[in-house]
Structure 1
Amino acid sequence: MHSHALTQALTLYRSETLTLSQAASRAGRTEEEFAAVLHQYGIEQRPETPTVGAQTERPAPRAD
């Protein structure tokens, strides 16, 4: 089953359905391990883009 999860994660990453982090999690690997597998299979690693609605670290406005 583990190889099936890896194959599925590779396919979904390649089709841009999952991010690197999501695909690594689905495959049961760390991001570094999954990136190494991408390289092994000749799949180019995409730059991670912030998700929609991602918060940047800044203080919330005060409601005085």
Structure 2
Amino acid sequence: MSRKSFTAALTLYRSRTLTLEQAASHSGVSPSQFESALRSRGVPVREQPTRSPADAAE
């Protein structure tokens, strides 16, 4: 994870422009790694909405 890509992803995550998964992808790491990086920096991790099978069909 480069510092520049993480900083950009963090900014977009905090502004609610990106989801955790999108921000992780932008940073080039897994969602769990991005979440760990957020927590280590004291950034609150938003709850991700759960999708029902009906939502996936849309």
Residue 6 of structure 2 is matched in structure 1 by: 6
Which residues of structure 1 form unaligned runs of 5+?
Answer: 57-64
Q: Distance in 2 between matches of 1:33 and 1:10?
A: 13
Which amino acid is the alignment partner of residue 34 of structure 2? F
Q: How does 1:1-64 map to 2 (within 5 A)?
A: 2-49=2-49, 54-55=55-56
**Structure in which a larger fraction of residues adopt helix:** 2
Query: In the comparison of the two structures, how many residue pairs are matched?
Result: 55
Deviations, residues 7-37 of structure 1 (Å, cap 9, x unaligned) = 0001110111100000000001101100011
Q: TM-score, normalised by structure 1?
A: 0.74
Deviation at 1:50, TM superposition (A): 5.1
Moved over 2 A (4+): none
TM-score (norm: length of structure 2): 0.81
Residue 44 of structure 2 aligns to a residue whose secondary structure is coil
- State which structure, 1 or 2, has the greater radius of gyration over its C-alpha atoms: 1
> Which consecutive residues of structure 2, in runs of 5 or more, have no partner in the other structure?
none
